[in-house]
């Protein structure tokens, strides 16, 4: 993966514009997902993703390759998200151009409702997390990054990145205690 | 192992970050302690729930438009930065274009003042029409006869207005707007304005008066010749 990214970057820096297209197509979903999980809003996620790739395009020649491309890319995305959150983002959950959720009116709908409630409660709990904790949680759980990499992305020490993550998990556990008891 | 100690290790255990030597004894504790085992299980379930949280899938059209939209932004950005890089220059140029009569006015007025102050007697200064040389009046009359309205200084005008008049090519001018309009009609004024503009573009902090003062002797002579031959007329 790392070598493949560097290969695309080399091609781009040699003037092959299609290499950047490939890089975007390859990474667009994970960038969008990370941005969505951070901003909790589809429009913000789209804007942040576009801004992040624009920044990548402008600064790719300055990427020193001391870290993996994904770490560098995630750092850009997370910083964009943090800026976005600091500026005051849109309301969470407002989704534009989203594929419609399939509605299942079958007998199992009670279980689905419970699951939906659980997911909504989780979403609300995640929204209350401070941005750095939210980033640590997302990068750890959804992107399976090591705390060392998360620290690099957030620009903090590894110990601090771990603390952010553990605080996030503990906070969620506390806020979702009623679900645990009810389950 | 006490429960308090085990609890501090549960998250690291779930996260698979617990060092090997502590892992064994913590797992042993969980086998014997229902409370800690329940807590451990709760963390596992919570993280499974977090992991299962899906991002709403945008429509296929969203992804179709993602790269083209990004490319559009990139092009726009490139265009904007190009504009920006020339923007200050362009802004300056547009300012100069807009204010060229003013610049020219300042330039010529400054030169005229220079002439009056530094070269007394080089060009006559007429505070009153009575001192105007006859040749000048004839010239003005000729022009008037040719269909253009001579704007040679009028004694009444001079008397009517107060303040220090401008002296331009031997003519008394006390209306700056008329001066600027007249200067605009000078055939060489654009050239002078271009040169001043170039000087200001290169050195925006410079004072036009300084630039005029920095003219070479030859350039100054050309300017003086121009001023001397200037006929202030209104067609």
Whether residue B38 is found in the same domain as residue B94: no
Q: Which of A134-148, B8-22, B40-54 has the lowest mean pLDDT?
A: B8-22
Does B163 score more than 60 pLDDT? no
Q: Which CATH number fits domain A2-87: 3.30.70.360, 1.10.1740.10, 3.90.79.10, 3.40.50.2300?
A: 1.10.1740.10
* Cα–chain center distance at B145: 47
* Interface membership of B177 toward A (CB under 8 Å): no
**CA–CA distance, A165 with A145 (Å, rounded to integer):** 12
Whether residue B190 is found in the same domain as residue B123: yes
Structure tokens at B174: 């006390």
Q: Which of A12-16, A61-65, B116-120, B225-229 has the lowest mean pLDDT?
A: B116-120
Tell me what ipTM this predicted complex has. 0.84
Can you give the residue ranges of every domain in chain A?
2-87, 118-182
Q: What is the per-residue pLDDT for B205?
A: 54
Q: Which fold has domain A118-182?
A: Arc Repressor Mutant, subunit A (1.10.10)
Element (H, E) at B78: helix B60-118
Report the gap between the CA of A68 and the closest CA in chain B (Å). Answer: 22
Structure tokens at B111: 């030169």
Whether residue B113 is found in the same domain as residue B192: yes
- Split into its structural domains, chain B has a count of 2
pLDDT tens, position by position, B60-102: 899 999 999 999 988 888 777 777 666 555 544 444 444 555 5
Residues of B in contact with A127 (CB under 8 A): none
Residues whose CB is less than 8 angstroms from the CB of residue B193 and which lie 6 or more positions away in sequence, other chains included: B96, B100, B103, B104, B107
Domain containing B120: what range? 88-234
Q: Which residues of A107-130 are buried (b: 16+ CB within 10 A; e: fewer)?
A: eeeeeeeeeeebeebbeebbeebe
Whether residue B98 is found in the same domain as residue B201: yes
Whether residue B126 is found in the same domain as residue B226: yes
Q: Sort residue A144 into left (φ over 0), alpha (ψ -120 to 50) or beta.
A: left
Q: Which of A46-50, A96-100, B118-122 has the lowest mean pLDDT?
A: B118-122
pLDDT tens, position by position, B31-40: 999 999 999 9
Residue B198 lies in a domain: yes
Residue B141 lies in a domain: yes
* Interface membership of A13 toward B (CB under 8 Å): no
pTM comes to 0.60
Residue B72 lies in a domain: no
pLDDT tens, position by position, A144-159: 999 999 999 999 999 9
Shortest CA distance from B46: residue in chain A:
A173
**CA–CA distance, A11 with A9 (Å, rounded to integer):** 5
Does B108 score more than 70 pLDDT? no
Whether residue B44 is found in the same domain as residue B141: no
Q: Report the share of chain B in percent with pLDDT over 90.
A: 12
């Amino acid at each position: 993966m790392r070598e493949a990214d560097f290969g695309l970057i080399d091609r781009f820096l040699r003037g092959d514009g299609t290499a950047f297209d490939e890089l975007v197509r390859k990474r667009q979903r994970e960038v969008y997902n990370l941005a969505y999980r951070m901003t909790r809003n589809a429009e913000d996620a789209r804007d942040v993703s576009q801004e992040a790739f624009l920044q990548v395009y402008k600064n790719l020649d300055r990427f020193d390759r001391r870290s993996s491309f994904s770490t560098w890319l995630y750092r850009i995305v997370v910083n964009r998200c943090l800026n976005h959150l600091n500026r005051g983002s849109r309301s969470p959950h407002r989704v534009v151009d989203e594929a419609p959720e399939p509605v299942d009116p079958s007998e199992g709908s009670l279980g689905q409702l419970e699951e939906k409630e659980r997911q909504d409660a989780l979403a609300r709990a995640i929204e209350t997390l401070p941005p750095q904790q939210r980033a640590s949680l997302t990068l750890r759980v959804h992107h399976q990054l090591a705390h060392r990499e998360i620290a690099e992305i957030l620009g903090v020490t590894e110990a601090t990145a771990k603390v952010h993550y553990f605080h996030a998990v503990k906070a969620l556990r506390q806020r979702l205690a009623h679900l645990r008891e009810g389950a | 192992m006490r429960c308090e100690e085990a609890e501090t290790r549960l998250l690291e255990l779930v996260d698979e970050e617990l060092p090997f030597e502590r892992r064994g004894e913590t797992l042993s504790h969980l086998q014997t302690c229902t409370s800690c085992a329940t807590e451990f299980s709760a963390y596992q379930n919570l993280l499974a729930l977090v992991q299962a949280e899906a991002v709403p899938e945008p429509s296929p059209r969203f992804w179709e438009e993602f790269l083209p939209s990004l490319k559009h932004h990139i092009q726009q950005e490139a265009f904007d930065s190009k504009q920006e890089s020339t923007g200050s220059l362009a802004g300056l140029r547009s300012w100069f274009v807009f204010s060229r009569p003013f610049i020219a006015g300042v330039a010529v007025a400054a030169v005229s003042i220079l002439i009056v102050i530094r070269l007394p007697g080089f060009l006559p200064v007429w505070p009153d029409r009575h001192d105007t040389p006859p040749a000048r009046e004839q010239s003005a009359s000729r022009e008037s006869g040719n269909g253009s309205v001579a704007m040679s200084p009028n004694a009444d005008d001079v008397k009517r207005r107060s303040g220090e008049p401008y002296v331009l090519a031997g003519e008394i001018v006390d209306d700056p707007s008329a001066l600027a309009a007249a200067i605009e009609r000078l055939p060489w004024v654009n050239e002078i304005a271009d040169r001043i503009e170039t000087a200001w573009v290169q050195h925006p902090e410079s004072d036009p008066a300084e630039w005029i003062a920095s003219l070479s002797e030859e350039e100054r002579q050309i300017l003086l010749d121009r001023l001397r031959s200037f006929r202030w007329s209104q067609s």
